[in-house]
Structure 1
Amino acid sequence: MSLLLLRMPVTSSYLHRDLDNMPGDLLVALTQLIQKALAAAYYPVKWFGAIVEFLLNFVAVNGGLLGVIWSIMRCNLVIRLNRDAPNFRTVMALVDDRTELKRSPGAAVSDMRRLWTKNGKCTEAALLPVTFEVTVMAAKIAYENAAYIENVVANVWKFNFVGYYSCWNKFLKVNATQAFVMTDRGKDADMVMVAFRGTQMFSTQDWSTDVNLSWLRLGGMGNVHAGFLKALGLQEEDGEDAARAFPRDAPAAVTPGKVVAYYELRKVLRELLQEHPRARVVITGHSLGGALAVLFPAVLALHGERDILGRLGAVHTYGQPRVGDDAFVGFFRAKVAADYTRVVYRYDMVPRVPFDAPPVARFSHGGTCVYYDGWNVGRVLGGGEEVPNPNYVNPRHALSVYGGAMGDLLKAMLLWVKTGGEYREGAVSMLYRAAVGMLVPGIASHSPRDYVNAIRLGRIGTAAG
């Protein structure tokens, strides 16, 4: 899922401290067991992932398997790969290497403004697929390195790339949170977008943070997932004093290269909104990136940042986990006046955790949920309606969950016949669906590829059909 690209193993003392504020003591032992197992697997998974990505990129830059053979014959084989180069891709991009916007960038931003103002002729439901394309694609490319992102933003989308930010997590003592910022134009922009990075596939510490059920209370903001708070910029684990735990002012002394996500991105937005007086802010992210996309404006509200919140147009998240309790959901609804929509694809596991299962765990979702089924038919859920199998672990849904994974695999083989070559999936994507999907189907459904397909191919209504 996201942004916590951790490089140091999680210690047992860290785990214990994190679990002190955990809702539902019955889950403490299970959570700690899972986290210890993930911590033990840190180095094997890290090196396995590095090898896999090197091999896949090696084949890709040499033109495929046949290209490797031909390059060997011509003594023209590319062996040295730079992970920071614009052509180096993570598994996320190797699974789905699309970068082009189906709709022109200018038209997509124009439709987004119509959705904000609600003055256009199109209904909100009809606008969702076109306005969400920019945010879902930004959330997808946020997994890549800075050079890759800048190349796509500037040369493919023809937007203005502002910057890539790799930010410090004082609890992990590593730059663990990444995001990038862009505007639709260099001058007089209509849109300023912040896109948070999601969980890296081969980071067991990312997954350890995601499965952690601990939370911390920040005054009127309610209880919030502690790992997400730390990724955004929590300074002290003090549930009694919100001003000390997450102070309004940035830390007095910031070591070069150790900027904190919340404070750095807030500073960037302040400057950009002064530079672009008509611009509205859009915040997006996939997976844990989606969680941070929700938490960021909530902390802005906690600090009374009205200048930024007054120009917040939309928060769009994809495969976002639950962030806090009912009090947090109510705080966000009351204090953040923006279009907050979270998209859930089929049986994606991540939006179904942490659990909403009182009295054991009390995490809740907020915003408007758009749920897409396996045929990319979307429903805007309302009136307290939940997605199917809301906590994922209900055995009654096991057959449907595995059937859904098999259906997605079969559909992936044939979808391009009807919809065109853009939807033809390569060997890496098929292998991912077959291997991961049949082992843990809720993870395969979490791929940004399915979210891009849902937005581009889907239709929205108040009822599926």
Structure 2
Amino acid sequence: MVAQQVGHPKMGEEKMIIRSEKVRFIDILSMLLLRRPITSYRFVEAGDQTVADFGSTPGDFFVALTEIIQKALAAAYYPAIYIGAFVEFLLNFIVLNNGILGIILNIFRCKLVIPLNREAPNFRSMIALIDGRTELKPIPAVKSAEEENLVDVENGVCGSDVMPLIQQQYANAPSYSILEVTMMAAKIAYENAAYIENVVNNVWKFHFVGFYSCWNKFVGDHTTQAFVFTNAATDATAIMVAFRGTEPFNMRDWSTDVNLSWLGMGAMGHVHIGFLKALGLQEEDGKDAGRAFPKTSPNATADKPLAYYKLRDVIREQLKKHPKAKVLITGHSLGGALAAIFPALLALHEESEILGKIAAVNTYGQPRVGDKAFGAFLRAKNVPLLRVVYRYDIVPRVPFDAPPMAEYIHGGTCVYFNGWYTGQIVAAGGDAPNPNYFDPRFMLSMYFNAWGDLFKGAFLWMKAGKDYREGAISLLYRAAGLILPGLASHSPRDYVNAERLGGSKIAGKEP
């Protein structure tokens, strides 16, 4: 991904698309041993400008490794879908019947609960089974600006209890920090529409606007989900958009996260093509961003809405109803990637009415989405992107930064939390430790951290309180980190813990 200057787009077609389904193992060996120009392979589609920029650049270790991972994920797709469906059914069956003993008692009472409806409000995804917390934690009484730990993203200063979501309009209503609300919204975005609506309306006492399952024309399926809510039914001061992230048993989502393919988007720079497709990309055109993502909404049937255009319309409608409201955008994992690109597309289309209302774009465990030009574009358009990374979470370290073929660089302000939930601001332009994950210098530290997280998960409640008690499902998930360090660190549970236990102790220095 050769760097491109903002405001000076190249005239040729810029794209680099790897068709992983066409990659053979002999091609992987060829990349490692023969060092042929990467654009000469039949599985690579490159624009004319990209071919000229790359010249004789060969594929390297990270390109080959990415394709090996893609092959493994493709092979695991259907087994993972079936295993995931069975595991979620079994665990919901146990939970909804209050355990093994409850199952036995309910059989005799003829009250056995069988979770056949995955869209029921009491059905939980694997994410909610790992962490079932739904209540928001209010901001405690604040005595001074220093104690409040105000956040100034533009100047690289950040904290937890800042920019409280303005109180609901009833007496003695609590205030919540934006980090608290965005993280919890990103977490429940993994659930079905009925579950989300119940939490927003009945637990948070906010106003649920809608749940949207959106179409990806390249996959031929509804791959993108998001929901919208406001902090009040009338005269709201906050409009929240939350994107669903990488689902644990969906290998297609994981494949998208690690994919190296990108598309030239003019002033936006080079952007991950998989995430663009999830938002409603129309053409794989690396020369004309207007054709790839037209400003005018393409014709879409009611049952196949396109995420970017649908959510843009919903926000417009809500801003008309609530003219004083600010817009908050969030997502965890893949959802964080979509949350980062969504306002960039608004800026590309000069949607100043919406863009000027965005108060925060907070992402958690977000993969990389673009190059340096993309990050510069966000800064130039004053998009307030705040990325939160917990310890050795594997997802923020993909797609690999593999220059010159794929120069994936994180943008925005990064807050990095270590294993003890102590947060630190990463220096401007920097990244979390072990940025490409496979650096051998971090291997021992990663495994020690996995063991530490397992023990911390078992005993944290003794110090922090009952809200931090973890069940068997969560601890079993943490144990997976002993096999693949960084996998368990991706759980929204640790991001909630980090925000609540360490958000007010963030230091303005590198980790």
Give the TM-score normalised by the residue count of structure 2: 0.82
Shift of 1:12: 2.2
Q: Confirm or deny that 1:450 pairs with 2:494.
A: yes
CA distance in 2, matches of 1:230, 1:329: 19
Q: In structure 2, what is the equivalent of residue 5 of structure 1?
A: none
Of 29-38 and 409-418, more deviation after overlay is shown by 29-38
CA distance in 2, matches of 1:315, 1:447: 20
| Secondary structure of the structure 1 residue equivalent to 2:366 | coil
Shift of 1:77: 1.6
Shift in CA distance, 14/275, structure 1 to aligned 2, threshold 3 Å: farther
| Secondary structure of the structure 1 residue equivalent to 2:161 | helix
CA distance in 2, matches of 1:437, 1:457: 22
Determine which of 10, 27, 45 is the counterpart of 1:20: 45
**Larger radius of gyration between Structure 1 and Structure 2:** 2
Determine which of 91, 96, 108 is the counterpart of 2:126: 91
Shift of 1:463: 4.5
Determine which of 237, 241, 256 is the counterpart of 1:190: 237
Shift of 1:320: 0.5
Determine which of 395, 415, 427 is the counterpart of 2:472: 427
Q: Confirm or deny that 1:258 pairs with 2:258.
A: no
Please state which structure has a larger fraction of its residues in helix. 1
Q: In structure 2, what is the equivalent of residue 396 of structure 1?
A: 441
Q: Which runs of 5+ in 2 are unaligned?
A: 1-18, 25-40, 143-147, 163-175
- Contact preservation (8 Å) 1:142, 1:180: yes
CA distance in 1, matches of 2:398, 2:337: 11
| Secondary structure of the structure 1 residue equivalent to 2:328 | strand
Q: In structure 2, what is the equivalent of residue 341 of structure 1?
A: 386
| Secondary structure of the structure 1 residue equivalent to 2:304 | coil
Shift of 1:443: 1.0
Q: In structure 2, what is the equivalent of residue 44 of structure 1?
A: 79
Q: In structure 2, what is the equivalent of residue 110 of structure 1?
A: none
The one-letter amino acid paired with 1:421 is K
Shift of 1:193: 0.5
CA distance in 2, matches of 1:404, 1:296: 33
1:59-98 superposed Cα distances (whole Å, 9 cap, x missing partner): 0110112211222233322224310001000110000000
- Contact preservation (8 Å) 1:18, 1:226: no
CA distance in 2, matches of 1:39, 1:68: 37
CA distance in 1, matches of 2:470, 2:499: 17
The one-letter amino acid paired with 1:391 is N
Q: Confirm or deny that 1:148 pairs with 2:171.
A: no
| Secondary structure of the structure 2 residue equivalent to 1:363 | coil
What aligned pairs does 1:23-172 form with structure 2 within 5 A after superposition? 25-26=59-60, 27-103=62-138, 124-125=158-159, 127-128=161-162, 130-172=177-219
What aligned pairs does 1:337-416 form with structure 2 within 5 A after superposition? 337-416=382-461
CA distance in 2, matches of 1:179, 1:299: 17
Q: Which runs of 5+ in 1 are unaligned?
A: 1-9, 108-112
Number of aligned residue pairs: 445
Q: In structure 1, what is the equivalent of residue 378 of structure 2?
A: 332
Of 363-372 and 62-71, more deviation after overlay is shown by 62-71
CA distance in 2, matches of 1:149, 1:168: 20
The one-letter amino acid paired with 2:414 is C
Shift of 1:360: 4.9
Shift in CA distance, 60/461, structure 1 to aligned 2, threshold 3 Å: same
1:118-152 superposed Cα distances (whole Å, 9 cap, x missing partner): 9xxxx853635933000000000000000000000
- Contact preservation (8 Å) 1:116, 1:314: no
The one-letter amino acid paired with 2:498 is A
Shift of 1:342: 0.5
The one-letter amino acid paired with 2:103 is V
CA distance in 2, matches of 1:274, 1:236: 31
1:410-446 superposed Cα distances (whole Å, 9 cap, x missing partner): 0111100011111000010011111x11111211100
Shift in CA distance, 407/190, structure 1 to aligned 2, threshold 3 Å: same
1:181-222 superposed Cα distances (whole Å, 9 cap, x missing partner): 000011111100100000111011111111110100011111
CA distance in 1, matches of 2:268, 2:115: 49
Shift in CA distance, 217/96, structure 1 to aligned 2, threshold 3 Å: same
Q: Report percent identity of matched pairs.
A: 61
Q: In structure 2, what is the equivalent of residue 3 of structure 1?
A: none
Q: In structure 2, what is the equivalent of residue 4 of structure 1?
A: none
- Contact preservation (8 Å) 2:89, 2:115: no
CA distance in 1, matches of 2:324, 2:420: 38
